[in-house]
Amino acid sequence: AQSVTQLDSQVPVFEEAPVELRCNYSSSVSVYLFWYVQYPNQGLQLLLKYLSGSTLVKGINGFEAEFNKSQTSFHLRKPSVHISDTAEYFCAVSGEGAQKLVFGQGTRLTINP
Amino acid sequence: DTGVSQNPRHKITKRGQNVTFRCDPISEHNRLYWYRQTLGQGPEFLTYFQNEAQLEKSRLLSDRFSAERPKGSFSTLEIQRTEQGDSAMYLCASSLAFLPGTEAFFGQGTRLTVV
């Protein structure tokens, strides 16, 4: 069985500051890792995913994430945030043969001007 | 293609009533998923279909919940005898089942409030 822990429920940052949203996962098999963003009253939109290969993954809107197998982490980063990045961010995992996504509890990113 | 469509967007119902939600996936997608999301939590998997076959159901899906995808296209999720604990956002997603890790595209969800 897989599980995901997002270590921060809320992260406030100032506009143009860097941000890191932390995600740790647990799995007994190889995993695929995802970050989704949810804007208010919207569905989830994929930011980026790690399937294999390079551990640094680049996504949309200037986000990137690094897969660290030894630390079982998949932290999301952005060097300079914008007001429009205010949203809920979800880390998710799926395993080989497992078709469903297992989500973390989410991190609410708040950008202050 | 306009993406995954869910109807209605909002539903308020009295406890004990039955409700049905509809999901129209992206047209060429053969996989369809239902998730439930409560306030302050991440989405939780309920069930998924490949074409018209329901391949997995979560323990969260009690006997009051039933999902169908009769022709492998749209899907319906019915909740019978609703309870206040059923209040949540119900999300539908679809994907192509070619390779593991294929991206799932989500609809905007149906927000259910049971009063």
Who among A4, A51, A100 is closest to B33 (CB)? A100
The DSSP bridge pattern shows strands A10-14 and A107-112 to be parallel
Is the pLDDT reported for residue A67 higher than 90? yes
Is the pLDDT reported for residue B57 higher than 60? yes
**How long is chain A?**
113
pLDDT digits (tens, 9 = 90+) for B76-93: 999 999 999 999 999 999
Paired tokens of B114:
């049971």
Chains A, B: CB contacts within 8 A come to 61
Are the Cβ atoms of B40 and A105 closer than 8 angstroms?
yes
Is the pLDDT reported for residue B100 higher than 80? no
Residue-averaged pLDDT of chain B:
93
Who among B43, B101, B106 is closest to A51 (CB)? B101
From chain B, pick out residues whose CB is under 8 angstroms from the CB of A104. 42
Residue A97 confidence (pLDDT): 62
From chain B, pick out residues whose CB is under 8 angstroms from the CB of A45. 106
- Residues contacting residue B60 through CB under 8 Å, at least 6 positions apart: B36, B44, B45, B46
Who among A6, A45, A100 is closest to B45 (CB)? A100
Residue A100 confidence (pLDDT): 87
Q: How many CB atoms lie within 10 A of CB A50?
A: 20
Residue A98 confidence (pLDDT): 59
Overall average pLDDT of the A24-47 stretch: 89
- Please identify which residue in the block is written with the tokens 């043969």: A97
Are the Cβ atoms of B4 and A43 closer than 8 angstroms?
yes
- Please identify which residue in the block is written with the tokens 């078709």: A99
- Residues contacting residue A53 through CB under 8 Å, at least 6 positions apart: none
- The residue among A18 and B99 whose pLDDT is bigger is A18
Are the Cβ atoms of A97 and B108 closer than 8 angstroms?
no
Residue B98 confidence (pLDDT): 65
Overall average pLDDT of the B54-80 stretch: 93
Residue-averaged pLDDT of chain A:
92
